[in-house]
A and B are shown apart, each in its own frame.
Chain A
């Protein structure tokens, strides 16, 4: 069986991911490009007897890169040894923006890489009264050009036929014989020099290497110094020649375009401008934005309530039945108290995560997100951030990892660093489980203030706290960090589009899968480990504790006796010993050793809190499988009739989880993105310090 590597390339907003989804469906996965935190979407599909590997390259305007994303694409396309270097490029262009979108196409074709050009979004084009004529463009570009509408799959068969043709007959009809862009004398010299030093015989690749060799990671350092020594003599001025090339390419494209397609003002664009009269209005714009955010977070609570109850009940039922079917043994305990309790703790939050990611995908797909960037750029600058930081901060509401990865489009070093540092302060989806459980302990379910759900309002307040904290930290960092580098806004505002539901669906599915598998793995492993630590103690410490309870607590009712007994058993276990060990440090915050155990396990990932609580309160569990929430609500302060989780302790714990950086993956991605240990270290110390101080203050003010 043959296999081929195919890459999707094109400008941002050209509809690449729709075509990616059409070709691969669910056979796709998201990973990172090696060594960088740029998201790499790959997928496979079958074509006849061949297997095609498809890579979705990040959206790029030109091979003269301005951001990390674009640099990555440039390095892939200029290095045939790169593992992502494609056998064939499917170049996706928005036919309504053809002039601009052909710039990168002409560069890729000049690299000699076999290419198919897809003119996407022909539906809008035809609606505007234009005729699609791919042939003249194909004659000019020298590669196949096809028209498509990724929205309904029109043209997909033709694309597959062309791919099949490539597999059967090879690259000849997919490669242009001569370059579109003609070099000047200086450029010829620079390309010849790059060929001489780096041994690159493809002329345009050699020329691009002359521009970019100093940051190309795949070139050896000694050759780079050689190039640096030789290049100035050719009179090659990097920026001036970039500008010259870009302008001359556009001139060539403009010359051929009137024949193919007229430029025009589309109906779609007029509509976008009218919609933006409202959505980016001086007063209305920000009001609508905050209203939207409010609705989104209210609905996370309101809509997720029912499926969450179903999942919780399902697991209780499953646990009780497993226990009744299996003989009482350590294995049954492990299965029910360790594995099922841990799994339930994770899966119960799937509905909230689905809702959150659904709304985020919708904001992104529709084009609204770039309006947010535009509206808030000026305010963000006051805090040392960029308008683009808004995208990161909003996605931080889902996951800081994704947020930190999206900082790569910001461009300026200082704004990027500040965004990375403050993004984890915005409450992410992993805090939802913790907040949900703790808020439920303080605020009764079903309590309403007017039309608003009271739990939802507390939730909202915690989000505001996160936002205020992140802006405050950003402001302080703006004063401390020094940089002379300029920052830019220069942002495309794509026309509003009806979201493509399959794209939204796939995005949500992808994120849910990532949550369940990544968080799931960590939580299950920790739950199992914790079950062991909480069930066994050194020597016969647990037996001794049980005997001691039986001797001293004769005057208690059977229920009270059972509770004291469980507590004593846990206290004597390995987990109890660890919890006791850190208790002195956290007692000023109102926490006991059981919370201490959770804090320790949460340092890997904060959502583990609920699983840990589930495991801790399941150990030596009674016959009835009740939920974590109920068990925690029933917990009493040792030696009193006061609930353990009173307002002071619950609030203090909430504040701790709001600030503390309990997420290994965030630290790892910060390390990768900043390429140093310094920033993740500062981030960790700063946030943990804020958490401790915040909790201490809260506990002392409330108790």
Chain B
């Protein structure tokens, strides 16, 4: 099983490796989530469902299913 952003624990870093989902890729890319980008899980939303992520020099929020489409390598 390949790891995805969803497997990150709060405070953990990873590098983006691949995108599993074709449709979501376009959106992820324009937000700057590129292969080799460094991502860190900062926290989870109060009512669950969404993740607060630091990506190199900016912050983004994404849903769990969106996070599950980004394959990563934990560093």
Contact = CB atoms under 8 A, between A and B. Distances in A.
Contact of A273 (B30, B42, B47, B48): B42
20 contacts: A64-B30, A97-B58, A99-B32, A103-B30, A243-B29, A263-B56, A269-B58, A276-B43, A280-B52, A285-B46, A375-B45, A375-B47, A378-B48, A387-B50, A387-B61, A489-B66, A490-B60, A490-B66, A491-B62, A493-B58
Contacts, number: 122
B74 interface: no
Contacts of B60: 490-493
Contacts of A280: 43, 45-46, 52
Nearest to A281: B46
A486 B25 CA distance: 13
B58 to A, nearest CB: 6
A195 interface: no
A374 B52 contact: yes
A490 B28 contact: yes
Contacts of A486: 23
B52 A378 contact: no
Contacts of B49: 377-378, 381
Interface string A265-283: 1100100110011001111
B63 A377 contact: yes
B59 interface: yes
A544 to B, nearest CB: 67
Interface in A181-209: none
Given A269-B57, A492-B58, A375 B46 contact: yes
A489 B24 CA distance: 11
Contacts of B56: 99, 263, 265
Interface string B18-31: 00001111111111
Nearest to A377: B50
A61 interface: yes
A247 interface: yes
B15 interface: no
B34 interface: yes
Contacts of B46: 280-283, 285-286, 375
A276 B43 CA distance: 10
Given A61-B31, A375-B50, 17 more contacts: A97-B32, A97-B57, A243-B25, A247-B34, A265-B57, A269-B54, A280-B46, A285-B46, A374-B52, A374-B61, A378-B47, A387-B50, A489-B62, A489-B63, A490-B24, A492-B31, A493-B61
A239 B26 CA distance: 8
A468 interface: no
Nearest to A254: B34
Contacts of A272: 59
Given A387-B50, A493-B52, A493-B59, A243 B26 contact: yes
A379 interface: yes
Contacts of A375: 45-47, 50
A341 B31 CA distance: 53
Contacts of B62: 489-491
Contacts of B57: 96-97, 99, 263-266, 269
A250 B25 CA distance: 14
Contacts of B50: 374-375, 377-378, 387, 489
Nearest to B48: A378
Chain B contact residues (Cβ within 8 angstroms of A): what range?
20 to 34
A576 to B, nearest CB: 54
B61 A370 contact: yes
B13 to A, nearest CB: 12
Interface in A37-95: 61-62, 64, 66
B63 to A, nearest CB: 4
B26 A246 contact: yes
Nearest to A264: B57
A66 to B, nearest CB: 6
A489 B30 contact: no
Contacts of A99: 32, 56-57
Given A266-B57, A269-B58, A66 B27 contact: yes
A495 interface: yes
A282 B56 CA distance: 24
B26 A64 contact: yes
Contacts of A250: 29, 34
Contacts of B63: 377, 488-490
A242 interface: yes
B66 A488 contact: yes
A377 B59 contact: no
Interface string A95-111: 01101100100000000
Contact of A490 (B27, B42, B45, B59): B27
Contacts of B22: 239
A247 B29 CA distance: 7
Contacts of B34: 247, 250
Interface in B33-75: 34-35, 42-43, 45-50, 52, 54, 56-63, 66
A66 B29 contact: no
A74 B48 CA distance: 35
B32 A276 contact: no
Given A283-B46, A374-B45, A273 B59 contact: yes
B38 to A, nearest CB: 10
- Of the listed residues A96, A100, A381, A494, the one surrounded by the most CB atoms of chain B closer than 10 A to its CB is A100
Given A100-B58, A265-B57, A273-B42, A66 B47 contact: no
B31 to A, nearest CB: 6
B30 A373 contact: no
Nearest to B35: A247
A273 B27 CA distance: 23
A216 interface: no
